[in-house]
Structure 1
Amino acid sequence: MTNNFELNGIHHVTAITNSAERNYKFITDILGMRLVKKTVNQDDIQTYHTFFADDIGSPGTDLTFFDFPNIPSGTYGSNSISRIGLRVPNDAALEYYLNRFKEFDVKHGEIEDLFGTKVLEFEEEDGQRYRLFSDENNEGVEAGTPWQDGPVPTDKAIYGLGPIEITVSYFDDFKHLLQVIYNMKPMIEEEEVAVFEVGEGGNGGRVILRKDEETPVGIQGYGEVHHVSFRVEDHAAIKSWEAKYDQIGVRHSGWVDRFFFEAIYARIGHILIEISTDGPGFMGDEPYESLGEKLSLPPFLEEKRDEIEASVRPFDTTRNK
């Protein structure tokens, strides 16, 4: 029987953009991830919330964005989620993306070795920081299915979320919390960096924690990460986490039904951590062929569709015109 407290990997990462349109083109046309859901922020229904993932929106592949057009630029700093990880199948895929970034004038570094894995760092136009991780020789949490009709060859394409990087000034305290609250297993422990794993581990279940006592605290805005979510199996697991948070005295949101998944949120230090169920997923309300092309609303917002469509600006995500 599955342990209801076990985290099975990274579920999704949510970041902030100042332009859903530009971000959509970057993530789909350059990175080759599929838009699987265009919806609204359920807590701010006048703004878009976009979900990019693998070919069928598998959990563990979702990179999502809140679109806040008038929000100021974020400030990179300590006590924040400092870099988003994405997975590619092998080292050759890193070479492919290196050339692609040069072709599309994307700010990038060079292919490097990080804890025995080949990686490639790059940035979006708004300053959002990413790192590609090669799955060559990787074992652990299974990756997704590359976008079958995307602009990147399927044997090179991004097909899942990689290790999330968190930077904090209270390094030892945060290490302790990750282990005590979330049962994360330390794989590497050095003076100023630690690597933790959840579930089956590997690139799809890993957190990189860095110590930074010098840089000022980061400020959220566009170009920064809003939160990270970890995977659990089902409703019973979410309710178990609600009870656990209550028992150990962690303030939390309570159970939240996001329609595409169930969730619970808690802020650990400065970091907003969500726990989300693998289902129901993104395939229930749109045909596979046209995922993400229409505005998708959960049932409790459907009665407000006319109001919502009148308040959000037009945003064309049709692929086959």
Structure 2
Amino acid sequence: MYTIPGHHHISMVTKNANENNRFYREVLGLRRVKMTVNQDDPSMYHLFYGDKTGSPGTELTFFEIPMVGHTHRGTNAITRIGLLVPSEESLHYWEERFDKNNVLHSGITTYANRTAMKFEDPEGLQMVLLVADGEKIDHWETWEKSDVPAKHQIQGMGSVEITVRRLDKLASTLTDMLDYTEVSRNEREAIFQSVPGQVFGEIVVKYLEGPSERPGRGSIHHLAIRVKNEEELRFWDEQVKERGFHSSGIVDRFYFKSLYFRESNGILFEIATDGPGFTVDGDVEHLGEKLDLPPFLEERRTEIKAKLTPIE
């Protein structure tokens, strides 16, 4: 039986790639590891931020949609992203950094049983810094050129929050199909972990009635979870189909292979392979510095670049 070792990446919507680029590089101190386009719609940017190499489990990705409107918050949506920092001392560093950069934040609080600090990016994307207390993805690498000191750098994704009307339906998908472990539950919330005891594969499911979220800028499009290779991906493709969900089938994204499915509340999940990764078409020193295109789009480079606003 294969298991899910944690989150792979999470994908959001931004209205302005340049402003997005400034916040995630200059404020959060992440590395832009890949500047490419949405392979299903090459007229829009797809930006990836993460650790030194964009390791699985560290990647925040954004689709630029210049005409997108506001997000109208509601249920049946992925509603918050947890990011790991090394220590409580790190939270004090980030509180000062956020104040200096006019970032909306909660101050030091708790979230999912951890010392934490909630904050929002300029488009209202809801995130939370979580004290890792030694937990981090084994392959996370320090980004030496980050403005954030190594001892306070974001060390990848932690708890991801999903808000739904039918908590039991999502719980069943996570535990019965994907083999997550339910580690706590009350009337309004349940916590699941792909690796028991580890926050980097944790999903916090909240129950909420009411209208579904209407996505816009600052909304979360999908959560991708990790598998090692294509053999495991084929196994999970069969599990998705046996469960009665529609699978996209295996899609080659060049940097990884993946499949997509929606569970019963309409939450979009991606299951993605660890490799080959972002160095498949670039060296580590220069990742994210220029527009990279997968081979099947390379012949359209001139046409694609003409439709994109340059990013610094």
Please name the residue that 1:47 is paired with.
44
SS in 1 for 2:245: coil
1:108-257 mapped onto 2 (5 Å cutoff): 108-136=105-133, 138=135, 141-142=137-138, 144-199=140-195, 201-213=197-209, 215-257=210-252
Match of 1:319?
none
TM-score of the two chains, using structure 2 as the length reference: 0.96
Letter in 1 for 2:166: Y
Q: Residue type matched to 1:158 in 2?
A: I
Flag structure 1 segments of 5+ consecutive residues without an equivalent: 317-321
| Partner AA of 1:13 in structure 2 | I
The offset of 1:200, in angstroms, is: 5.4
Deviation, 1:219, is 0.9
What CA RMSD, in Å, does the superposition of the two structures yield over aligned residues?
A: 1.4
The match for 1:302 is 298
CA contact (8 A) 2:112 2:204 kept: no
* Aligned match of 2:69: 72
Taking a change above 3 Å as real, the CA distance of residues 252 and 52 of structure 1, as seen in their structure-2 partners, is same
- Alignment partner for residue 54 of structure 2, among 44, 53, 57? 57
Q: 1:82 matched to which residue of 2?
A: 79
Alpha carbons 2:86, 2:134 under 8 Å: kept: no
The separation in 2 between residues aligned to 1:32 and 1:109, in whole angstroms, is 20
The whole-number CA distance in structure 1 between the counterparts of 2:165 and 2:137 is: 29
Q: 2:280 aligns with which of 279, 284, 297?
A: 284
Name the count of aligned residue pairs: 311
Kindly, what percent of the aligned residue pairs are identical? 38
CA distance in 1, matches of 2:237, 2:134: 36
| 1:247-271 Cα deviation digits (max 9, x unpaired) | 2321011100001111000011220
Q: Equivalents in 2 of 1:200, 1:171: separation in Å?
A: 20
Any unmatched runs of 5+ in structure 2?
none
CA contact (8 A) 2:181 2:196 kept: no
Tell me the secondary structure at the aligned position of residue 243 of structure 1: helix
Q: Structure 1 residue runs of 4+, over 4 Å off?
A: none
SS at match of 2:33: strand
Matched, 1:274 2:263: no
What is the TM-score with the length of structure 1 in the denominator? 0.94
What amino acid is aligned across from residue 232 of structure 2 in structure 1?
A
**Structure 2 residue identity aligned to 1:244:** Q
Partners in 1 of 2:23 and 2:132 — Cα distance? 23
